[in-house]
Structure 1
Amino acid sequence: MDQRVSFVTLVVTDLEATRRFYVDGLGWEPEVHVTGEVLMFRVADKVVLSLWAEAGFVAEVGHAPTRGGTPPITLSHNLATTDGVDTVLEQARAAGASEVLAAEQREWGGYSGYFADPDGFRWEVAVNPGEIGQSVLP
Structure 2
Amino acid sequence: MAEQRLSLVTLGTRDLARSRRFYTDGFGWTPAFENEEIIFYQLGGIILGTFERGRWNGTWAEAASTDPAHSRWRTTSARARRSSL
The TM tier, using the shorter chain, reads 0.5 to 0.7
Inter-partner Cα distance in structure 2 for 1:62 and 1:8: 12
Return the offset for 1:39. Answer: 1.1
Structure 1 match to 2:30: 29
Once the two structures are superposed, residues 52-78 of structure 1 have per-residue CA deviations (whole angstroms, 9 ceiling, x without a partner) of: 210244242274747xxxxxxxxxxxx
Structure 1 match to 2:18: 17
Inter-partner Cα distance in structure 1 for 2:32 and 2:61: 27
Q: Which has the higher strand share?
A: 1
Structure 2 match to 1:91: none
Identity of aligned residues (%): 34
Structure 2 match to 1:7: 8
Unaligned segments of structure 1, at least 5 residues: 67-138
Inter-partner Cα distance in structure 1 for 2:60 and 2:33: 21
Asked whether 1:53 is paired with 2:52, we answer yes
Return the offset for 1:21. Answer: 1.1
Inter-partner Cα distance in structure 2 for 1:62 and 1:27: 27
Question: Counterpart amino acid of 2:48?
Answer: L
Q: Which has the higher helix share?
A: 2
CA-based RMSD of the aligned residues comes to: 2.4
Number of aligned residue pairs: 64
Structure 1 match to 2:69: none
Inter-partner Cα distance in structure 1 for 2:42 and 2:61: 27
Say whether the 8 Å CA contact 1:8–1:50 is kept in structure 2: yes
- Equivalent positions of 1:1-138 (< 5 A) are 2=2, 3-35=4-36, 37-45=37-45, 47-61=46-60, 63=62, 65=65
Q: TM-score, normalised by structure 2?
A: 0.60
Change (3 A) 1:57 1:21: same
Could you list the runs of 4 or more consecutive aligned residues of structure 1 that deviate by over 4 angstroms after TM superposition? none
Provide the secondary structure at the position in 2 that maps to 1:31.
strand
